[in-house]
Amino acid sequence: MAELLPPQMVVGSRMLYFGWIPEDPEAVAAMVPTSLKVAENKAIFMNQYVVDREEQTSGFGAYSLTYIGPDLAGHDVPTDGTPARWWTHYFNSSAPMREYASARGVPATPGRTTLELSGETLVATTYSDDTPVIRSTVSVGSEIAAIGRGHLHYITEVGGKLILGRYPYVAHIAAPWEVTSLEFLEPSHSVYALRPKMPLEITWGFYSPNASFCYPGGEEEV
């Protein structure tokens, strides 16, 4: 297989992306380099998504992915104030994509994600290897209420340097939308430290049946 070169494009993914307040913010902060700070509200983000067909990507092929971690302070997207983010876990089904991501400081490990929609109920399940570790249950509608677009910032560490990647995206956002439950299924797994406090406090989010983005669109040293 030819070397994957940046940027890579993905179109038409099915994506569930949202944030919450964690049960143990001190445990979360310990996962972040000391040169970075978590956001004031200590929020966690998680993106569970599936790319169903090879022709939806410029080089990755079909894959599924869950990535998760804390929002950061001080490196917001200038156009809309969206916080930069730090990946603590990155469960990816594609070996070539894991290699591509790992070379850019992403903590990529084997895993897979399923998104199952029945009527208005969407269930997204994340697996680490073959062990289910996270399950999201969401009520979603069929109306496309808005088009989200812009950039996201993700920071990684490569060779002892912090690198900020800019990821442009366009997403068709479904409405109505509500997270009804968020379960962390395996207390022995390190991702369990990011579990939500109860009662569940969702800070933002969306479901998109059609989300497209570049991976990454640009990089610079922090």
Within-domain flag for 5? no
pLDDT digits (tens, 9 = 90+) for 79-107: 999 999 999 999 999 999 999 999 999 99
**pLDDT, tens digit, for every residue of 122-147?**
999 999 999 999 999 999 999 999 99
72: nearest Cα among 149, 153, 157, 159: 153
Q: Give the per-residue pLDDT at 3.
A: 81
Q: Has residue 156 been placed in a domain?
A: yes
- For 167-210, the pLDDT digits (tens) are 999 999 999 999 999 999 999 999 999 999 999 999 999 999 99
What's the pLDDT at 200? 98
Structure-token pair, residue 28 = 């979360």
Per-residue confidence (pLDDT) for residue 160, from 0 to 100: 93
Residue 20 lies in a domain: no
pLDDT mean over 109-129: 98
The whole-number average pLDDT for the span 3-17 is 94
Task: Output the pLDDT for position 4.
Answer: 87
Residue pLDDT, tens place only, 48-80? 999 999 999 999 999 999 999 999 999 999 999
Range of the domain at 119: 25-221
CB 19 within 8 A of CB 69: no
Q: How confident is the model at residue 217 (pLDDT cuts 50, 70, 90)?
A: confident
Structural domain includes residue 48: yes
Torsions phi, psi for 12 (to 5 deg):
70, 25
Assign 3-class secondary structure to the chain: CCCCCCCEEEEEEEEEEEEECECCHHHHHCCCCCCCEECCCCCEEEEEEEECCHHHECCCCCEEEEEEEEEEECCCCCCCCCCCEECCEEEECCHHHHHHHHCCCCCEEEEEEEEEEECCEEEEEEEECCEEEEEEEEEEEEEEEEEEEEEEEEEEEECCEEEEEEEEEEEEEEEEEEEEEEEECCCCCHHHHHCECCCCCEEEEEEEEEEEEEECCEEEEC
Q: What is the pLDDT of the chain when averaged over all its residues?
A: 96
What is the count of structural domains for the chain?
Answer: 1
Please check whether residue 13 lies inside any domain of the structure: no
User: Rounded to two decimals, what is the model's pTM?
Assistant: 0.97
**Which CATH number goes with the domain that contains 212?**
2.40.400.10
- Whole-number pLDDT of residue 216: 81
In this prediction, residue 1 carries a pLDDT of 57
Cα–Cα distance measured from residue 120 to residue 44, given in angstroms and rounded to the nearest whole number:
25
Whether 199 maps to a domain, the answer reads: yes
Q: How far apart are CA 122 and CA 137, in angstroms?
A: 6
Confirm whether 151 is domain-assigned: yes
Predicted pLDDT at 187: 98
